[in-house]
Each structure stands twice: as C-alpha cells, then as structure tokens.
Structure 1
Amino acid sequence: MEQQPIKKIKKNEFAAITSDELNNLEQQNEKLKLEKEGYQKIVVSLEKKLASKSREDEQLRILIHQMEKELQKKTEELLKAERLSAIGELAARLAHDIKNPLNTIKFAFELIQHNPKGNTNFEKQTGIVERAISRISHQIDDVLTFVKEGSPEFEDASLLDILRICAKKIKKSDKIIINLPTKDVHLVCDPYLLEVVFDNLLFNSVQAIAEKGKVIFSISDNKDENVIIEIQDTGAGISEDDLPKIFDPLFTTKQNGTGLGLASCKSIVEAHRGTITVKTNPTRFFVKLPKLQSKANYNSGCELR
C-alpha cells in the first residue's frame, strides 16, 4: 500500500490561523470580563438590598415585640375591667337575691312573735325560715367558691362517701328519690371540693324536679385511668339554646340564681384535670376524673379560676 505524503503547512498560513484564534480568545475573554462585572454589580446590589432587608426585619421584629407587650398590657387591663364589672354585677345580684329570703325570715318571725304560745303553724313557719337560710347559704357558698383562688389539696378518697354526704345534706321533698351507685371507686382528689361539685349538681336536679321525681347517680369504671360519674334527673330539662352557655359565669335561667354554681363546678373539675359535660332530654351531667394518678403528678398545681 502506497504511503500518502505529509502535507506541509506554510509558515504564513500557521501564523494566520494562530492570529485568528487569539483574536477569538481575546473577544471571548473580554465578553467574560463584561459578564463578570455585570454579575458583580448584581451581587453588590443584592447585598445592599439584603442589608436593607435585614434592617427592615430587625425594625419589624422590634415593632412586633412592642405590639406584643402592648397587647398583653391591654389584655390584662381588659381582664381586670371585666372582673370588676363581673364583681359589680354579682354584688348587685347577690344583694337582690339575699333580700328576698331575708324578708321571708322576717315575716315568719313576726308571725311567731304575734302569737308565740298558741301558734299552730309554728312548725310550718320554722320550715320556711330553714329553707330561706339554706337558700342564702347556698348563694354565698357559690360566690365564695367562685372567687376563691388556690390549688386542690389531694388525698385518697372514696367517691361513694362523697356522694353519700351530698345526698344526706340536700333539702328536698320526700317524693324526690336519690339513687346512689352500689359500687365504690377510690381516687386521688380534693374530697371537699368535689363535694361542692356534687352539691351543686344535686341541688340543681332537685330544683328542676320540684315536687316528685328521681335523681340517679351512676359510676362508670372501666379499670382505666379515669372514672365517669353521671347525674341524671327527671326534671324539665335544659333548652338546647342554653346548653352552650350553661357553664358561663353569671349565666342563669333561675329567678334567684347567682349563675356561679356550674361555673364553679367546671373550675373545680378542671383543677382536677377532668372534664364536665352535659346533655339534655333527659338532663345528664358527666364528670370525668382521673383516679390512678399519684399526688406527685400534681406538683405543678391547677389553680381554680
């Protein structure tokens, strides 16, 4: 096979090619420099904008912090004003509500004084006085429980014993029957505060029944960490419109109510880290309380509101 001769490149042709390539490289290099300068300007501009944005962010952060402090201050002032307003309304309502049973007591004693020896209605009149005093006492207890601040004092207690005490204390017609549960559950609680809860619920049930009916207590204990106490009565029931407001302070449907009984119940139950709910037709209250937690779990405390 015949070998092809190597083509010779003249010196001036090599020089021309090299010169063209160098010109292209220089043009490309110039273009890159211009692009670099453009990018540098963009970077500088972005850095300035970022610095400005950082200053704006810092100013915004300071402004938000100031607004948060001002909002907290205004919230505290509003809560204080609402509390003072509630106390004023409560004082006026309590003064009105206590005046009526005091007049009843005064009238009964006047009748007794006019005929102290031959008074054939003495037992009836003393009964009227006793009910009036009980009414005043209950209203004052509602107020004291509601305004009291503090933490429950926990101890091991019998739930059935608490319910028995409440049933024994209540003033009611002989035609109203109270059914207590047969089984007992022990739980860590403040028995005196829970007594206040079930006193209020039982008192409401008896008032709702008026003449003849039943109040039924039942305990659901599924061997878990909670126990549920249900209180059902055969009274008139609660209207659907009133259900969402039933636990609100100062809300009442009773002519002589303080509107604090159920609010206090809710506060006490929540201080025990439990819940209280209600259903109507028939009226049923459900108090759910923890029972297996130790006293050590309550070191943080839950203040009554």
Structure 2
Amino acid sequence: MRPLERFQDWFRGCLPNTLRGKLLLVSLVVVVLPISLTGYLLEREGRQALVREKTEKLFGLTRLLDAHLGPGFDGGFDELAAGTGIAATGRDTAIRALSERLTPFTDLVAGANPGVGVGYYNKALDAIITYGPSRDYSATVGTSIPPDHPGWRVLESGRQAVESGRQVRGFILNAMLPIIRDGGVIGYIWANELSDDVERQAAAMDRAVLTVSIAGILLGLLLTHLLSRGVGRDIRRIIDGLLRMRSDLGHAILPPPGEVGEIAVEVNGMARALLDARSLTENILHSIADGVIAVDRAGQVTAVNPAAAAMVGVTAAEVIGKPYDSLFKPDGQFASPLLDTLKTGQPHVGVTLDFPGTRQTLHLNVSSSLLRNSRSEAIGAVVVLKDLTEQRRLRTQIMRADRLAALGELVAGLAHEVRNPLTSIRGFMQFLETSDDVKEWQRYAPLIVRQVDSLNRLVTELLEFGRPRPPTIRPVQLNDLIREVSLLAGRKSNARITLDLAADLPQVEADGEALKQVVLNLIINAIQATPDTGIIAISTAAPDGREAVIAVSDDGEGIAPENVDKVFDPFFSTKPNGTGLGLAMAHRIVDAHHGTIAIASTPGAGTVVTLRIPFLHSPVAET
C-alpha cells in the first residue's frame, strides 16, 4: 500500500462516524480557526494602526512647534545655538528668557491636546527650555536630559525618532524632531503621550476582539451541537412529507421527537395556513363587487372572479386558458392596461377608460400590476375592474339638472341686465316725445346710443358665452403670450406688473387667442381690484411636467368669502359696470383646454388665480 493511501485510510479512521460528530469537527475547522486567526490579525493590525495614528499626531505637533521658531520668532533660540547668547546673558538668564517666550505656545498646544506633553530642548544650553503643560512639568525647565536619553541620538544623527519607554515624564510614547538651522542641529522638539493611555486603548480593543472571537466560537459550536442532534434520524421523514405536500397541502407530516419534530409541526402549520389563505383568497375573489382577472406571462387568462365574468358577459370556464384580448373587440384605438403592464412591467392605477367588450362597451376604472412569485420573478399580471357605467349615468343626470338650474339663473340675470338699459331708453324716449327742442334731442341721443351699445355688448358676450367656437389648437409659448398681454394691460393702470416666468417652460397645445382673452381678463380684474401703487405678479411653472401652471396674484381688496364660489357664475359681478360674463367665459375656455381654474382670496390682502393647462390638448390615450 502506498504511503498516500495509508494516510487517507488513517485520516478516514480518525473522522467521527456520526453526522453529529462530523458536524462538530467541521464546525471546529470552519468556525474556530478562521475566527481565531481573524481575531489575532485584527488585534495586531489594530494595535499597529493605533500606534501609527498616535505617532503621526505627535510628529504633527512637533512640526507645529518647529514652525513657531521660524523667521517670525525673535527669541534668540538660534543665537544661543551659536553660543554667543550664553556668554552675553548667562545660562540661567538665557533659559529663563527663552522659557518665558515659548511657554505660552507650548501650553496652548498641550491644552488643545489633552494628555499630550510638548517641549523644546536647546543643545547649546543643554537644558529643557519649556515643557507643557507648564502647570505639571515646569519643574523640569533648565534640567539636562540623562546621557542614555534617546534625545541625544536625535541631536547626533539629525533624524527624527520615536521611542517608547521610561523618560522624563514616565512611561511614554515620545516623538522627537531635531531643530536644524544652517545645516546643524541646535536642539530638538518633543511631543509625547503616556504609554498608559495608549496601552489602555489597545487593551480595550484587545478585550473587544477577544470577547467577540470567543463568543463567535462558542456560538458556532453550540449551534452545531443543537442542530446536529437527531438530524440524520429524522431528516428523511421530513423530506418525504414535503414531497407529498407539493400535490396535497392537506397531508400532515408525522412529527419526530426533538427539534426536527418542531420543524415538522411548523411545516404542518404553514401548510394549513397556506391552504386556509388559498380558500380565503378564493372566497374574497368570489365575494367582492369589483372584477378581477389574472393572466400568465403569455397573456392567457388563468383566473377570473364572478364579478369580472358578469361584467364581460362570460363564464370562467369559457375564458380560462384563452388569450385576454379575446375578451374585447379588436380595436386599434384601445390599449389594454393589463397587456401594457405585462409587456412593460409598469403598473397602472385608477385608469378610467371605455372597455370595448364583445357584448357591450363598459365604462371602467382599471388598475393593473404584475404578479410575482416568492423569488420576485414576474409570472403574469392581474387587473381589477370597477364598473363606472351606472355612476356615469347618474353623473349625466346631475349635470343635466345643473345645466337647467344654470339656465334659469342665466335667464334671470339676462332679464335683469336687459331691463336696466331698456328702462333708460324708454324714459329718454318718453321725455323726447313731447320735446321739439333740437338741443334736447342732441343732448339725450348719445345717452340712448350708449344704452343701445350696452345692450349690443351684452348680447355679443352672451352669444360668445352660449356658442363658444371650437379651439384652434397650435403650439403656444405661454411666456411670450403673457409678456404680450401684460404689456398691453399695463398701459391701462399705474399698478406695477411683475413677471416670474419659468425659463424652461415647454410649449402647450392650445388656442393662443382664447388663452390671451383669459389672461387679459384676469389681469384687468386684478388691475381693477388693485390701487395705483399696488403690485400684480404673474408667474409660470411646470411642477410635474404634465401641465403648465399660471398664477396671477394681486394685493388688492380681495373677494368676500361668500362671493368666492359665485365669481364664475354668469351675470355675477361686484363691479358697477360689469356684465359678469368675463370669468364665466374664462372658465369655459379653460374647460375646453381640459384645464382647471381656481381662485383663492383674502379680503383686504389680495387674490390669487391659478390656471392649470395640460401641455397636450388631446386626452392621453389610456394605457
């Protein structure tokens, strides 16, 4: 037998025979070793990173202290390095002078970095010049460093160094930077931090890594132990039961003892819950008044509830398995939301359309969305149909009643508006009937003509209101239209008109002349409600990209709350000479463009009129 084969046999003999033993062994290799190695690497790298961060910080402070001795420093540090200052002033005096100059700055640096000590050492004076914070280490000023102090190596080599160990302050991490002037070392600067602080942070990190590693190892072994118990004995029973449940959710798995038995119980519970949910879903679909139709990815009908079958006029047996488009008449103008969702994946919510059924056309509110499986994969689509045919009929009756009521108000208003000028004409003619004075005729004839013109203007506006011409739709740039109309209207008043027009406003499909009439009417109304010193602001915007918004606001007298709902009624006007048809006409023009007009007013503060005009005049095809 070859050595390799003998080794393989020996290795197989060392492996446990039970599944539980094998799981524990695998757990030992897969969990313990990686966690231990990862913890060790994290601890080592973390400690090194901590020391590097501390070292970089300390050297940064030494460079800051060195920069303080630059050209702007007039303290004699360089002069003392040459030895000339000591002879002139004496060593103690020179140390005291330099300390007084440098101590405030070292205290400032030390105060900004708690736990850090900084200072200067002068080689010529062989003394510590300053040691901040001075409140703790001022006693060291003037002392020399010991012969074995690492600072001597910095002075001799001229290279920066970092040392860890006992020094003047105690056990510290000390960064030392030589002070080099004219090619020579005249001293060094240090910044240090107590090793206790560094070790305390490193120890905290070590404890955290060790705790997590031990917890991970213990948890892995514990979970392996719990999961391995009895798995081999009971796993086949569970698998067999699950295979049978694929075709029969009513089948219950006989639960074995132990944890796997609990799994079997839960599986049985989930099977029952799924069966109940399926029954509940079927009951809901059969009970709701809205129609529901589901299709697969090929567009074949897979489910239809009774409400949908009744709407379309078919039975479920007739349409299951057939293409969805067989439920409606072939019509190139009809785009099905369900088929569009199936094709593009985009849902449709609350789409109102006319559904061309094979037996009748239905007015429906439709919502469609994709159907997905447990892996979020699209397996088809579903549509919910709400029949609005009866609502449309009732709405038509209500609109007819509203029109009759409006017609009555219109007739009453017309009678009132016509009666006033006719009364004036009749009075003038009765007076002139008995007068032979030509001057009297010349005096009252213009008054009669004005009353006739008033009647003619009223009849003209009434004809325009009653028989509006179809809009001539062309691309219109609203900003240019507003500039033109505001320039024209601005000549009629001293009120200031300000424009805030969106620079990127797209063109709209509209009747430009009709919209000019609307905007001009709104500006004139604002001018009449605003004093000569007032401001009329006009703005445009496209907040949602589907419609243009025009706002006309003024700071005039406003509209009384009880009159706001009446401003669009024909013949309603608060102006002495108004006919009350201007805003009614504006409302009709905006309606013809499938837009909206709204008024918000505060008495004494002003009024804001907001127009919303769709960019596309024709209604967008329902999809």
Instruction: Compute the TM-score of the two structures, normalised by the length of structure 1.
Output: 0.54
Distance apart, 1:150 and its partner CA: 3.5
Equivalent residue, structure 2, for 1:103:
423
In the alignment, is residue 88 of structure 1 matched against residue 411 of structure 2?
A: no
Equivalent residue, structure 2, for 1:300:
618
In the alignment, is residue 151 of structure 1 matched against residue 471 of structure 2?
A: yes
In the alignment, is residue 76 of structure 1 matched against residue 396 of structure 2?
A: yes
Contact persistence 1:275–1:289 (CA under 8 A): yes
Equivalent residue, structure 2, for 1:193:
514
1: distance between equivalents of 2:539 and 2:286? 61
The letter for the 1-side match of 2:616 is: Y
The letter for the 2-side match of 1:159 is: I
Match of 1:197, SS state, is helix
2: distance between equivalents of 1:260 and 1:192? 18
**What value does the CA root-mean-square deviation take over the aligned residues?**
5.3
The letter for the 1-side match of 2:397 is: E
Distance apart, 1:132 and its partner CA: 5.8
Deviates more, 1:190-199 or 1:80-89: 190-199
Contact persistence 1:101–1:133 (CA under 8 A): no
Deviates more, 1:105-114 or 1:69-78: 105-114
Number of positions where the alignment pairs a residue of Structure 1 with one of Structure 2: 249
Distance apart, 1:191 and its partner CA: 4.4
Equivalent residue, structure 1, for 2:599:
277
Distance apart, 1:84 and its partner CA: 2.5
Match of 1:277, SS state, is strand
1: distance between equivalents of 2:533 and 2:422? 29
The letter for the 2-side match of 1:277 is: I
In the alignment, is residue 265 of structure 1 matched against residue 586 of structure 2?
A: yes
2: distance between equivalents of 1:145 and 1:102? 22
Structure 1 residue ranges without an equivalent (≥5): 1-31, 171-176
Match of 2:388, SS state, is helix
1: distance between equivalents of 2:285 and 2:550? 56
Distance apart, 1:102 and its partner CA: 2.3
- 1:113 to 1:163, Cα distance in 2 relative to 1, 3 A: farther
2: distance between equivalents of 1:282 and 1:183? 20
Greater helix share, structure number: 1
Match of 2:618, SS state, is coil
CA offset digits 1:264-284 (Å, max 9, x no partner):
324435638575534331443
- 1:111 to 1:191, Cα distance in 2 relative to 1, 3 A: farther
Match of 1:284, SS state, is strand
Q: Percent identity?
A: 18
- 1:84 to 1:281, Cα distance in 2 relative to 1, 3 A: same
2: distance between equivalents of 1:142 and 1:104? 21
- 1:125 to 1:198, Cα distance in 2 relative to 1, 3 A: farther
The letter for the 2-side match of 1:104 is: S
- 1:182 to 1:52, Cα distance in 2 relative to 1, 3 A: closer
- 1:142 to 1:237, Cα distance in 2 relative to 1, 3 A: farther
Contact persistence 1:232–1:283 (CA under 8 A): yes
Q: Which protein, 1 or 2, shows the higher relative CO under an 8 Å CA cutoff with sep ≥ 6?
A: 1
Structure 2 residue ranges without an equivalent (≥5): 1-240, 252-270, 289-304, 312-363, 365-384, 543-547
CA offset digits 1:152-185 (Å, max 9, x no partner):
54445543543565678x9xxxxxx454648898
Greater strand share, structure number: 2
2: distance between equivalents of 1:140 and 1:118? 32
Q: How does 1:215-294 map to 2 (within 5 A)?
A: 218-220=536-538, 228-231=551-554, 233=556, 237-243=558-564, 245-250=565-570, 252=572, 254=574, 260-269=581-590, 271=593, 275-279=597-601, 280-286=603-609
2: distance between equivalents of 1:54 and 1:227? 46
Equivalent residue, structure 2, for 1:162:
485
Distance apart, 1:77 and its partner CA: 1.9
Equivalent residue, structure 2, for 1:23:
none
1: distance between equivalents of 2:487 and 2:428? 32
- 1:167 to 1:113, Cα distance in 2 relative to 1, 3 A: farther
Larger Rg: 2
Q: How does 1:166-185 map to 2 (within 5 A)?
A: 177=493, 179=495, 181=497
Distance apart, 1:300 and its partner CA: 1.8
Distance apart, 1:88 and its partner CA: 3.0
Contact persistence 1:246–1:252 (CA under 8 A): yes
Match of 2:599, SS state, is strand
